[in-house]
Structure 1
Amino acid sequence: MPCVSPCVCQVDKAKAFETVATVERVAVPEYLVKKEVARIEKALAPLVELRAKVMGMARTEGFDAVEVQKAYNQFTDAMERNRFDLLKYLDMVSCAAEYRENDNVKFDPEIIMLAVSLVPGARLKDVIAKGE
């Protein structure tokens, strides 16, 4: 269906997205959420370690700038490779916080920080982190 008015269309799209997201949402059993959280955390463990390495190198005297840049490039490449899992993890955190479900699921704040950094304009305070 073609758009009649662009400004009305933009408002309607936002409202439609919100409605569809609410309608399509299905409660997921806690054991499945825990299983997926564990899978993602295991997959992202090397990324968290790489971030710690880069941060440590940047804060420590005596590292060559080329070494630090090389480690940082590895980190950004790893972030791109794991983009889907990071965003999925962030979505799970926000859903758990918004709908007050799966209260026994613990989230890793390091992974939450990495995921938030991928979303343009996102702020951590916008995502209620249950892991903290």
Structure 2
Amino acid sequence: METVAINRPAGFASVTPHASAHFPNPAEALRSLDVVETCLTAMTDLPRREMEVCARVLLCQTALGISLSLEISEESVKTYRARAYRRLEIGGIRELWMWYLNLWYQWQMDLRTLGKADLKFSSCTPTQFSTRN
């Protein structure tokens, strides 16, 4: 068995466990539908249905699951998803995740700049575009 050495970037050894406190935790990005919808609403101009479908795709819901939760046909879900992908210039769910994580990170940095760094989503209310009340 061969051992492979991994070269660390310069300054990596000086990073302490507390340094990560300065950066948003990416696990929070996909914590709930409310978080995803709030981020998409705040940071994009996606039409409401495309945003709702993308939010649910990001949370790994199937087309059938999305159609049931939004009370639309599976074909409509596929159409909204395709339109959103075309609008965002992405080709699939992996690219959607990467696009969203970058968007979420920027949103968190914007919130910190505005002094809302301690914003918690545990009591998040549905967004204006949410179908839930």
Q: TM-score, normalised by structure 1?
A: 0.33
Does 1 or 2 have the higher relative contact order (CA < 8 Å, sep 6+)? 2
Give 1 or 2 for the bigger CA radius of gyration. Answer: 1
Q: TM-score, normalised by structure 2?
A: 0.32
